[in-house]
Amino acid sequence: MSLWEYANPRKFMETSALVLPWLWALALVCLLGGLAWGFFFTPDDYKQGSTVKIIYIHVPAAMMAINAWVMMLIASLIWLVRRHHVSALAARAAAPVGMTFTLIALATGAFWGQPMWGTWWEWDPRLTSFLILFLFYLGYVALWEAIDNPDTAADLTGVLCLVGSVFAVLSRYAVNFWNQGLHQGASLSLDKRENVSDVYWFPLLICIAGFVLLFVALVLQRTRTEIRLRRIKALEARERLA
What type of residue is 135?
A: L
CB of 80 to another protein, least distance (A): 9
The answer to whether 224 contacts another protein (rule: CB under 8 A) is: no
Distances 128 to 48, 105, 134, 172 between C-alpha atoms, Å: 23, 12, 10, 9
How big is the site for another protein, counted in residues (CB under 8 A)?
A: 44
**Identity of the residue, 91 or 204, whose beta carbon is nearer to another protein in the bound complex:** 91
Q: Which of 17, 81, 135, 199 is close enough to bind another protein by CB under 8 A?
A: 135
Would you give the binding string for another protein spanning residues 68-87, x where CB under 8 A is met? -----------------xx-
CB 28 within 8 A of CB 207: no
Name which position in 32, 81, 138, 205 contacts another protein (CB under 8 A).
138
- Taking CB under 8 A as the binding criterion, the range among 71-79, 95-103, 166-174, 201-209 that sits at the site for another protein is 166-174
Strand residue runs (E) in 27-146: none
Query: In angstroms, rounded to a whole number, what is the distance separating the alpha carbons of residues 159 and 54?
Result: 36
**Structural contact between residues 237 and 23, judged by C-beta atoms closer than 8 angstroms:** no
241 binds another protein (CB under 8 A): yes
User: CB count, 10 Å around CB of 219?
Assistant: 24
Among 1, 3, 40, 181, binds another protein (CB under 8 A): 181
